[in-house]
Copies of this chain bind each other. A is one copy, B any other.
Amino acid sequence: MSTSLTEPRTPAAASATGPAAGTLPAPLSAEELAAWRGLLCAHAMLVKALDAELEAAHGFPLSSFEALEALASASGRRLRMCELAERARLSRSGLTRLADRLERAGLIERVDCASDARGSFAVLTAAGTAVLAAAGPTYADVIRRRLLDQLSEADLARLGRVCERVLEASPAREARGSGCCA
């Protein structure tokens, strides 16, 4: 009755037919599909919850928090724009606007880069530091309650390893010359 992905296949057959045949990619098993969808749903739930709670309690969303956090943990509380864009998983233009907002809010400042006149640093201000310090517990609390509390020690360790493996298995910066700052 359904076209496609749910074709029940014995999980054992997966690795057998999968990489071997080469003509059409093996459809996903029910278990595989469930894991993937679970990942999507869990991510959506977590991000939505974080966004909502940060916004409610401190007036800025997750993306701002992540940028501020990246700056706070950088040496000198400053980062080149492109470096910050990468850490916040934003495009350069996306980061330009986010930095505009944060700067208007007084949380960061832009300062020109002495060694490269093209570039500038985003620098966390005192206000930004304070605001971040206030929001940190909210952030940690949401992640702990909704994610970490549901994970055993072993789950946590395995999750970390799996994500690492998945990330290094994919070029990621694929369609990009990459390079950028130091």
Contact = CB atoms under 8 A, between A and B. Distances in A.
A29 B59 CA distance: 25
A111 interface: no
A112 interface: no
A130 B156 CA distance: 41
A74 to B, nearest CB: 8
Interface string A139-154: 1110110111111010
B35 A160 contact: yes
Given A49-B170, A169-B150, A163 B4 contact: no
Of listed A19, A159, A167, residue having the most chain B CB within 10 A: A159
A182 to B, nearest CB: 18
A164 interface: yes
Contacts of A149: 19, 169
Interface of A: 1-6, 11, 18-19, 24-28, 31-32, 34-36, 38-46, 49, 52, 69, 72-73, 75, 89, 129, 132-133, 136-137, 139-141, 143-144, 146-151, 153, 155-160, 162-167, 169-170, 172, 175
The 6 residue pairs across chains A and B that have the minimum distance between CB atoms: A38-B163, A25-B141, A2-B73, A4-B136, A35-B160, A3-B72
30 contacts: A2-B72, A3-B72, A4-B69, A4-B136, A5-B69, A5-B73, A5-B136, A24-B137, A25-B141, A26-B140, A27-B140, A28-B148, A31-B157, A31-B160, A34-B164, A35-B163, A39-B43, A39-B46, A39-B159, A40-B89, A41-B163, A41-B167, A42-B166, A42-B167, A45-B172, A49-B170, A52-B175, A147-B166, A151-B162, A158-B158
